Copies of this chain bind each other. A is one copy, B any other.
Amino acid sequence: MIQNLNEHEREKLMASLNKGGQKLTPQREAVFSVLISKRDHPTVDEVFQRARETMPGMSLATVYNCLETFVACGLVRQVNHEREPTRYCPNLAPHAHFRDQATGRVHDIELPPEVLNSLRSILPPGFNSEVIEISFHGQASTTEPPPHA
């Protein structure tokens, strides 16, 4: 079930939006709430379905717009696996993704700084990377997703 944002979360959301020159709207609040209520890397369509539970009139285009805005403001990350529908992730700490072959479920994998650094070190001179994406693909014996706030 989707709760409303608490004070702290709403503040953080508004601050990030304002920093990017954007406003806090009811739709954006609803979409953001969906993302942090259940951090299971939902697709746009899943976000859409869940957001409609609290805001039945919302349109799919708005969900796309909101998510695009969040990405631009650095509030969430896009997660792509091959050409499957894009998923969204509110975990901003550096991490990799593991996609379970059997279920399609995506898990966050913590990425220690030294591993991140060893990765950066493989870039030859002249290559400057702002974004590194790491995704594993295989079988997870854990059936439950890792608990998240």
Interface residues of A (CB under 8 A from B): 78, 80, 82-83, 86, 96, 98, 107, 109-112, 114-115, 118-119, 121-124, 126-142
Do the beta carbons of A136 and B127 come within 8 Å of each other?
yes
B residues in contact with A132, CB < 8 Å: 134-137
Q: Can you list 16 residue pairs at the A/B interface with Cβ under 8 Å? A: A78-B82, A109-B122, A109-B127, A114-B118, A115-B122, A119-B119, A126-B141, A126-B142, A127-B139, A127-B141, A129-B138, A131-B138, A132-B134, A132-B135, A133-B134, A133-B135
In addition to A132-B134, A132-B135, 4 A-B residue pairs with Cβ atoms within 8 Å of each other are: A98-B127, A114-B118, A126-B141, A129-B138
